[in-house]
Structure 1
Amino acid sequence: MYKMIALFKNPENPAEFDEHYFHTHIPLTEKIPGLRKMEVTKFKSGSPYYLMNVMYYDSKEAFKEASKTEESKASGKDVMSFAGDLATFMFGEDVNE
């Protein structure tokens, strides 16, 4: 499995962030072809991070193909519009496979 991990710092307005993230951004992201699953984690207060989303793809190649789609571009454009200054993205592969 290949993973794209999005870490979000604490937003100024958590309720506004949650509204957009869960009702606009997640539905856009779920449409990306090749995305196998997502796991969203909210961190406890006091953490420098607010939320993490781990997105799973079959392989790095599958991720690269998915990234070329209109659905992926729409998701990327959306996240930058509301959380570009909060987001850090990381990529990796499972070592147990």
Structure 2
Amino acid sequence: MHKLLVLYPHPTDPEAFKAHYEGTHLPLAAKLPGMLDHRYTFEVHAEPESPYFALFEADFPDAATMAAALASPEGQAVQADVPNYATGGAVVLDYPVLTR
């Protein structure tokens, strides 16, 4: 399995971020081809304070499927939408899931 993780620093308008994210961005992300599952939260905690406001996590069977999804028209639409709500930017990570 391969994970995509997007960390969102605090936006200038948290309520506008949430409204756009849930109403527009997540429906776009749900259309990513080959994605097995996804989840998100606006409750990112760390001590003493989290630098992140929200996170998104998606599961893909492998890195090639994830890369193809991000390069697809659906993936391009998702990426093009980010500046519409993420005024704090976004940190995008991906990694293979290792198990014992």
TM-score, structure 1 length as denominator?
A: 0.90
Stretches of structure 1 lacking an aligned partner (at least 5 in a row): none
Q: Is the 8 A contact 2:12 2:87 kept in 1?
A: no
Inter-CA distance 35–75: structure 2 relative to 1 (3 Å threshold): same
* 1:73 equivalenced with 2:76 (yes/no): yes
Q: How large is the Cα RMSD of the aligned pairs?
A: 1.8
Match for residue 61 of structure 1? Answer: 64
Inter-CA distance 92–28: structure 2 relative to 1 (3 Å threshold): same
TM-score, structure 2 length as denominator?
A: 0.87
> Equivalents in 2 of 1:15, 1:57: separation in Å?
30
> Equivalents in 2 of 1:11, 1:22: separation in Å?
15
* Structure 2 residue identity aligned to 1:94: V
Stretches of structure 2 lacking an aligned partner (at least 5 in a row): none
- State the identity %: 27
Runs of 4+ with deviation above 6 angstroms: none
* Structure 1 residue identity aligned to 2:90: A
The number of equivalent residue pairs is: 97
Tell me the alpha carbon deviations over residues 38-66 of structure 1, each in whole angstroms, 9 at most, x when there is no partner.
12122249321101111110001111221
Match for residue 41 of structure 1? Answer: 41
Inter-CA distance 82–65: structure 2 relative to 1 (3 Å threshold): same
